Amino acid sequence: MLVPTPAATTLAARAADGEPREAAPVSRPTAHVFSFDAIDGGRIDLADFRGRPILVVNTASRCGFVNQLAGLQTLHERYGPRGLVVLGVPSNDFRQELADEAAIAAFCEGTYGVTFPLAARTRVVGEAAHPFYAWAARERPGEAPRWNFHKYLVGRDGTIAATFFTPTEPTDPRIRAAIERALREGA
């Protein structure tokens, strides 16, 4: 898993006379530098989705909001053919996820018909948070997951286009409008 170092917006350089001068801007990392372990044992590289919007959602099988899996599947079916990637990231950070990947996959697929990609169980908050979630928390201060089913919409360019907290249903008009915008931008 790639852990990018925080990039400064510019690098300080010194001329031959020792005077500081401003160097060329350094690009900031985007979501495309991150990858997740897949629930089936493979890898999910966000770079593979460059140029496509990605909805990244931390999920939990035993959460009161678990019915949102059906809404995420609806988004996947509706917008996937147009380029949207829905990525479920099961997490036990709030103590509501099943114990192993096989049980999580069986539950999500069997109960909700989930066909969108699922990561392996992943930490999403705190010091041990996955690098994507640590990056997202830095990019959007105050918008880190506070509970399961927190939604980050990553734009085609790899930046965070929108954040939606747990109570916002996946099929909420605000999420659909943000997805539509992300699909139009840069197309």
- Separation of first and last alpha carbons in the chain: 29
Contacts of 59 (CB under 8 A, 6+ apart): 66, 68, 69, 72, 88, 89, 90, 91, 97, 108, 118, 148, 149
Q: Is residue 33 part of a domain?
A: no
Q: Is residue 11 part of a domain?
A: no
Look up 108 and say whether it is catalytic: no
Number of domains in the chain: 1
Q: Is residue 158 part of a domain?
A: yes
Residue with more model confidence, 26 or 132: 132
Q: Is residue 161 part of a domain?
A: yes
Give the pLDDT score at 112. Answer: 97
Report d(CA 86, CA 69) in Å as an integer. 11
Give the pLDDT score at 169. Answer: 98
Q: What is the DSSP string of 105-149?
A: HHHHHHHH---S-BBPS---SSTT--HHHHHHHHHSTT-S-SSSS
Q: Is residue 18 part of a domain?
A: no
Residue 117: alpha-carbon gap to chain centroid: 12
Give the pLDDT score at 185. Answer: 87
For residue range 153-183, list pLDDT tens digits in order: 999 999 999 999 999 999 999 999 999 999 9
Give the pLDDT score at 19. Answer: 56
Q: Is residue 6 part of a domain?
A: no
Say which of 57, 63, 119, 136 is annotated catalytic: 63
Domain extent at residue 121: 38-184
CATH of the domain at 65: 3.40.30.10
Q: Is residue 62 part of a domain?
A: yes
The percentage of residues in the chain with a pLDDT greater than 70, rounded to a whole number, is 84
In the predicted structure, residue 22 carries a pLDDT above the cut 60: no
Full-model pTM: 0.85
- Taking a C-beta distance cutoff of 8 angstroms, is the pair 122, 132 a contact? no
Report d(CA 147, CA 124) in Å as an integer. 10
Q: Is residue 168 part of a domain?
A: yes
